[in-house]
């Protein structure tokens, strides 16, 4: 047992991780939206409700102390995952990545920045916020292209005092921000900051993030085997400079008739952006999800290796189907396709009759997919650690069969 009450021996095989679901009956391929939750994660949330259902960072009785120690542990696990120290960074919780982006971006002091730089392949959470930030603050917005390998195609002069807001991993085709290191250095050299949409990042391999000097990264627990919750890993220096207006609850330490002081204790700066009571079961469940993923083994493979095997296999098998177009030919945990023979929504509905669950449409990337590329609705297959090669076989077999009928 570890601090989360997880029996780490349990987290060994796919069957015991997702034992509540018959893997021969349900074929879930929508992990880019939300992953399935391993049994231990569900259990740790339930433990909170049944064994120490207290508020964190406010109460002094024993249940509250347990909550404090477990929520602190989740913060530490997140910092450790990206190799950051609590001297420089802190972790705040929120609803989801979208909420995290809103919380940081719209509370930036606009006087410190001249422009916002984003990219065309962004999720609406980024695209729309970059748009509204630039309009509300009357600042220039630069929308860059992304190279096929995911790198941002920017001009150095565009980064001057810029807020760079881009995804680290695309939810269309899994492209990653390959020039992230260089980008972070370039933007810092000219007085800007880099905010990363990490929604699709944390469920996958994140080892290279460890050397990146980002100002903030936002993520979603529900896309990394955790509960529905968001988090913000942010530099304390940035947090201290926010123009806070989303306030209340525990964000302050003194309140006067006409005035107040935000939390100033360096160890609790995250409280400045955690307005109101938090989802403590979710925070604790997220900690157990992080532990679960690092303990994950499928035979001798760890999570990254197993996922690599699955995505290579998926691509290899999809390429055998004649009448589909793939948006990318790189192996990825997120693969978007369309067929000229059948509408993607119809295809998704027919797959669903076999309990094969795939996403259809534009995946909240309307600007890039619909407006810019003028693509028809797509079908997206996204893999998770619950999937197996046998499940991929079943999916591909059915895809091929359905398409061949049109």
- Measured CA to CA, the distance from residue 174 to residue 322 in angstroms comes to 23
3-state helix, strand, coil in the chain (%, to 5): 40, 20, 40
Which one of the spans 46-54, 149-157, 193-201, 202-210 is the region binding ligand PLP (CB under 6 A)? 193-201
15-34 binders of ligand PLP (CB under 6 A): 32-33
Residue 189, Cβ neighbours under 10 Å: how many? 11
Q: Which of 47, 186, 197, 274 binds ligand PLP (CB under 6 A)?
A: 197
* String of contacts with ligand PLP for each residue 376-405, x by CB under 6 A: ------------------------------
Q: Which CB sits closer to ligand PLP, 231 or 338?
A: 231
Tell me the window of 176-184, 197-205, 352-360, 387-395 that interacts with ligand PLP (CB under 6 A): 197-205
Positive or negative torsion for Cα 123, 124, 130, 134: positive
Q: Is 73 in the site for ligand PLP (CB under 6 A)?
A: no
Cβ 96 to ligand PLP, closest distance in Å?
A: 3
**Rounded to the nearest whole angstrom, what is the least distance from the CB of residue 128 to ligand PLP in the complex?**
11
**Using the rule CB under 6 A, which residue among 96, 118, 382, 388 binds ligand PLP?**
96
Told to check if 97 binds ligand PLP by CB under 6 A, we report: yes
- What string of DSSP letters covers 236-304? HHHHHT----S--GGGEEEEETTEEEE---GGGGGGGG--S---HHHHHHHHHHHHHHHH--BTTB-HH
Binding segment for ligand PLP (CB under 6 A), chosen from 50-58, 134-142, 195-203, 264-272, is 195-203
Question: Is position 360 an interface residue for ligand PLP (rule: CB under 6 A)?
Answer: no
Nearer to ligand PLP, 190 or 246 (CB): 246
Residues in 122-141 that interact with ligand PLP by CB under 6 A: 123, 125
Of the candidates 190, 192, 272, 281, the residue with the CA atom closest to the CA atom of residue 232:
272
- Of 274-333, binders to ligand PLP (CB under 6 A) are none
State how far the Cα of 266 lies from the Cα of 3, in Å rounded to an integer: 25
* Cβ-proximal residues to 69 (8 Å cutoff; 6+ apart), any chain: 3
Closer Cβ to ligand PLP, 231 or 298, answer by number: 231
What is the chain's Cα-based Rg?
22
Find where tokens 């602190």 sit: 72
- Pick from 14, 3, 1: nearest CA to 293: 14
Which residues have a Cβ under 8 Å from the Cβ of 386 and sit 6 or more positions away?
Answer: 14, 17, 18, 21, 23, 28, 31, 35, 36
Single out the residue of 103, 200, 382, 388 in contact with ligand PLP (rule: CB under 6 A): 200
Of 186 and 197, which has the nearer Cβ to ligand PLP? 197
Site residues (CB under 6 A) for ligand PLP? 32-33, 96-98, 123, 125, 167, 171, 197, 199-200, 220
């Amino acid at each position: 047992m570890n601090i989360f009450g997880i029996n780490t021996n349990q987290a060994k095989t796919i069957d015991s991780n997702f034992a509540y679901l018959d893997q021969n009956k349900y074929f879930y391929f929508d992990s880019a939206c939300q992953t399935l939750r391993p049994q231990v994660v569900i259990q740790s949330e339930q433990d909170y409700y049944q064994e120490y259902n207290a508020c964190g960072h406010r109460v002094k009785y024993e249940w509250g102390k347990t909550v404090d120690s477990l929520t602190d542990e989740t913060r530490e696990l997140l910092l450790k995952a990206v190799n950051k120290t609590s001297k420089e960074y802190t972790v705040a919780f929120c609803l989801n990545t979208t909420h995290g982006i809103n919380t940081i971006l719209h509370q930036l002091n606009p006087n410190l920045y001249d422009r916002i730089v984003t990219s065309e392949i962004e999720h609406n959470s980024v695209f729309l916020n970059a748009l509204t930030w630039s309009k509300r603050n009357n600042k220039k917005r630069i929308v860059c292209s992304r190279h096929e390998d995911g790198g941002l195609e920017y001009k150095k002069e565009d980064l001057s005092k810029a807020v760079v807001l881009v995804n680290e991993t695309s939810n269309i085709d899994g492209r990653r921000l390959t020039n992230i290191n260089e980008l972070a250095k370039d933007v810092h050299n000219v007085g800007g900051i880099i905010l990363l949409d990490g929604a699709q990042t944390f469920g996958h391999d994140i080892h290279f993030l460890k050397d990146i000097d980002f100002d903030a990264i936002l993520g979603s627990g529900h896309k990394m085997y955790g509960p529905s919750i968001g988090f913000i890993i942010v530099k304390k220096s940035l947090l201290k400079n926010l123009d806070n207006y989303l306030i209340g609850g525990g964000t302050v330490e003194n309140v006067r008739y006409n005035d107040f002081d935000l939390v100033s204790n360096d160890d609790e700066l995250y409280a400045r952006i955690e307005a109101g009571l938090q989802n403590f079961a979710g925070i604790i469940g997220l900690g157990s999800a992080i532990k679960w993923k690092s303990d994950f083994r499928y035979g001798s493979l760890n999570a990254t290796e197993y996922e690599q095997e699955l995505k290579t296999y998926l691509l290899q098998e999809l390429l055998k189907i004649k009448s589909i177009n793939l948006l990318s030919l790189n192996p990825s945990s997120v693969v978007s396709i369309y067929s000229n023979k059948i509408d993607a929504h119809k295809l998704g509905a027919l797959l669903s009759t076999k309990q094969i669950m795939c996403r259809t449409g534009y995946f909240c990337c309307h600007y890039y997919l619909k407006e810019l590329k003028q693509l028809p609705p797509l079908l997206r297959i996204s893999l998770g650690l619950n999937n197996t090669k046998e499940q991929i076989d079943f999916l591909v077999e059915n895809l091929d069969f359905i398409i061949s009928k049109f």
